[in-house]
């Protein structure tokens, strides 16, 4: 079984995000970029499936600027066999990404697609669901466990207040949640080996996909600053403040 994994280049999760002065977006110039953390988990899961003999080939795909190649290289160093970059300078919204992935799925014919549950830059949580809908495939979202056997995928899903187990007929789209696994660090020898693995570069036009944005960002602003808290001396003072200052009781 071939597995396709989508890996997005995003601002590193340790970076303090700065909003652009004209409120059109966030600063990305000279900012450290990394693989979306949920996509690291997606790659790790695919590598484990390959190590277990369930998967035979692992293709890492990314869409975006030329530098997204680095994100694919990280996936290759973690264990992916080859990469595909759909190169574009245009802003890609989740529907465009899902359409590009659909076109790649039609070309590559994988039995399983794993994406992250959400990209930490746009926090959309849409691509996996849209892709499954476009393909007419089953979907196992927010996966915290994935077992593949007898043409079925059993996915344990993180739902509000507990876990839900679903059994899905393959092929499937799975979206990786935080507890699915702990991704490995790429070892130096594997980073060196990854340099020799192939990355194919395509344009959206090669796949016949219209990636024009459908949504317009009206404004991006910083979250309101929280005021500093205070320490109260006693429970009665706390109750007094809640009642008379905050007026919440």
Q: Which two tokens stand for residue 113?
A: 């697609």
Binding status of residue 201 toward ligand AMP by CB under 6 A: no
Sign of CA dihedral 48, 120, 139, 104: negative
User: 177: Cβ–Cβ under 8 A, 6 or more apart, which residues?
Assistant: 38, 41, 117, 142, 143, 144, 157, 158
Binding status of residue 177 toward ligand AMP by CB under 6 A: no
User: 181: Cβ–Cβ under 8 A, 6 or more apart, which residues?
Assistant: 41, 44, 45, 48
Q: Which of 83, 116, 140, 183 binds ligand AMP (CB under 6 A)?
A: 116
DSSP structure class, residue 19: B
Give me the least distance between CB of 248 and ligand AMP, in Å please: 34
Give me the least distance between CB of 42 and ligand AMP, in Å please: 6
By beta-carbon proximity to ligand AMP, the closer residue of 82 and 241 is 82
User: Scanning the structure block, which residue is given the tokens 């660090």?
Assistant: 185
By beta-carbon proximity to ligand AMP, the closer residue of 128 and 183 is 128
Region near ligand AMP per CB under 6 A, out of 58-66, 146-154, 179-187, 238-246: 58-66
Show contacts with ligand AMP in window 127-146 (CB under 6 A). 127-128
Q: Which of 35, 41, 49, 115 binds ligand AMP (CB under 6 A)?
A: 115
Binding status of residue 62 toward ligand AMP by CB under 6 A: yes
How many residues sit in the footprint of ligand AMP (CB under 6 A)?
23
Distance CA 143, CA 132 (A): 15
User: Mask 11-40, x = binds ligand AMP (CB under 6 A)?
Assistant: -------------------------x-xx-
Distance CA 76, CA 124 (A): 26
Under 8 Å between Cβ of 139 and 57: no
Q: CA angle, 39 as apex, 34 and 40 as ends, to 5°?
A: 70
Binding status of residue 119 toward ligand AMP by CB under 6 A: yes
Angstrom CA distances, 120 to 43, 86, 94, 180, 181, stand at: 16, 20, 13, 17, 18
Binding status of residue 124 toward ligand AMP by CB under 6 A: yes
Q: Which of 2, 26, 54, 126 binds ligand AMP (CB under 6 A)?
A: 126
Binding footprint of ligand AMP on the chain (CB under 6 A): 6-8, 36, 38-39, 42, 62-64, 92, 94, 97, 115-116, 118-119, 122, 124-128
């Amino acid at each position: 079984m071939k597995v396709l994994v989508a890996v997005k280049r995003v601002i590193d999760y340790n970076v303090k995000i700065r909003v652009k002065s004209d409120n059109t977006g966030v600063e990305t110039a000279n900012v450290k970029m990394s693989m979306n953390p949920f996509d690291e988990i997606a790659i790790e899961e695919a590598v484990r499936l390959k190590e277990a003999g369930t998967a035979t080939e692992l293709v890492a795909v990314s869409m975006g600027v030329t530098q997204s190649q680095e994100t694919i290289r990280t996936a290759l160093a973690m264990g992916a066999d080859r990469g595909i970059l759909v190169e574009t300078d245009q802003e890609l919204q989740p529907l465009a990404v899902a359409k590009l992935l659909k076109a790649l799925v039609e070309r590559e014919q994988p039995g399983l697609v794993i994406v992250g549950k959400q990209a930490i830059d746009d926090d959309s949580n849409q691509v996996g669901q849209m892709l499954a809908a476009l393909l007419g495939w089953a979907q196992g979202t927010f996966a915290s466990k994935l077992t593949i056997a007898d043409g079925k995928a059993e996915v344990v899903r993180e739902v509000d207040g507990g876990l839900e187990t679903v059994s899905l007929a393959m092929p499937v789209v799975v979206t990786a949640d935080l507890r699915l696994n702990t991704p490995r660090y790429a070892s130096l020898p594997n980073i060196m080996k990854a340099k020799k693995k192939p990355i194919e570069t395509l344009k959206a036009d090669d796949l016949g996909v219209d990636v024009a944005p459908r949504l317009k960002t009206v404004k991006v602003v910083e979250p309101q600053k929280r005021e500093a808290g205070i320490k109260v001396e006693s429970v009665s003072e706390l109750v007094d403040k809640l009642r008379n200052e905050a007026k919440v009781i």
